[in-house]
Amino acid sequence: MIALSVNLNKIALIRNSRDTRNPDIPAHAQMCIDAGADGITVHPRPDQRHIRASDCFDLAAMLAVEFNIEGNPMAGPRRSERPGVGDYPGFMEMVREIRPAQCTLVPDGDAQLTSDHGFDLKRDGDSVAPLVAELKGLGIRTSLFMDPDPEQIRLAAQTGADRIELYTESYARAFASGRDVDTILGQFVRAAEVATEEGLGLNAGHDLDLHNLPDFARAIPGLLEVSIGHALTVDAIRIGLANTVAAYQRALGKH
């Protein structure tokens, strides 16, 4: 069965628009879990635009499901610019202390609007591999955010990573446009096959939604987990959180 890990970034974005604890991130996580979510994902960025370091510690203290923390392993400490908000301690510093079930390394720069590319391990493999080794040494399942590029995925296996997360925006865009869907989906099927050949577990995420998820879930061999936040949050506003989580579980083939 493919696990659904709900990403809480956009809930935190709403919370940050006021000096408030509403929505309360741990309480919202619990509602997702009560509605059937298999895990919780957050992406604490250095500017703390949405998920803050404090949210990660609050969630770690209460979650009874898998906790997946995503982020750039090279992101160092950053002083908070907002009164009452603690500083960002650095991504690896935070993960070392929290030791989540899974850590997904994402090569995001500070100026990016959102995650928009996977690792280039031809260039960065030598710097990523020691970080993977350290995280695995801490008992943390380690995943790398990757484009559906077989050569890069083979390099991901050489870093010692446990899993990769396929960056699915190209599929989501093709699905929305109706153009080249089979070709693009075929790229993801091949990427999944290579991941399995290399002994890598397979996750996927970014811009997945209720429309494009069923075909993706049916087509991709060995898919273990999807992490979904943006579209899921919008759907929850439209049809309610419990209905939304149930709808995404159905879209994954669970009834």
Ligand X SMILES: NCC(=O)COP(=O)(O)O
User: Residues marked as binding for 3-amino-2-oxopropyl phosphate?
Assistant: 7, 18, 207, 229-230
Site string for ligand DXP, 156-195 (x = CB under 6 A): ----------------------------------------
Of 50 and 249, nearer to ligand DXP (C-beta) is 50
Q: Give the bridge partners for 104, in sequence order.
A: 70, 143
Q: Are 167 and 189 in contact (CB under 8 A)?
A: no
Q: Are 214 and 249 in contact (CB under 8 A)?
A: no
CA–CA separation, 250 and 4 (whole Å)? 11
Piece of the chain touching ligand X by CB under 6 A; list 53-61, 119-127, 175-183, 200-208:
200-208
Query: Dihedral of the CA atoms 95, 97, 100, 103 (nearest 10)?
Result: 20
Active-site positions?
Answer: 43, 70, 206
Binding of ligand DXP by 7 (CB under 6 A): yes
Query: Which residues in 161-180 contact ligand X (CB under 6 A)?
Result: 165
Out of 5, 9, 187, 233, point to the residue binding ligand DXP (CB under 6 A).
9
Taking every pair of Cα atoms in the chain, the longest distance, rounded to a whole number of angstroms, is 50
Binding of ligand DXP by 102 (CB under 6 A): no
Q: Is the backbone of residue 164 left (phi > 0), alpha (psi -120 to 50) or beta?
A: beta
Q: Enumerate the known binding-site residues.
A: 7, 18, 45, 50, 114, 207, 229-230
Query: Which residues in 206-225 contact ligand X (CB under 6 A)?
Result: 206-208
| Separation in Å, CA 111 to CA 13, 49, 115, 224 | 17, 11, 10, 31
Amino acid present at 60:
A
Q: Enumerate the known binding-site residues for 1-deoxy-D-xylulose 5-phosphate.
A: 45, 50, 114
CA–CA separation, 62 and 47 (whole Å)? 24
Out of 114, 127, 158, 243, point to the residue binding ligand DXP (CB under 6 A).
114
Binding of ligand X by 51 (CB under 6 A): no
CA–CA separation, 90 and 144 (whole Å)? 18
Q: Which of ligand X, ligand DXP, none interacts with 235 (beta carbon under 5 to 8 A by kind)?
A: none
Out of 192, 205, 232, 248, point to the residue binding ligand DXP (CB under 6 A).
205
Residue numbers at the binding site for ligand DXP (CB under 6 A): 7, 9, 43, 70, 106, 114-115, 145, 205-206, 227, 229
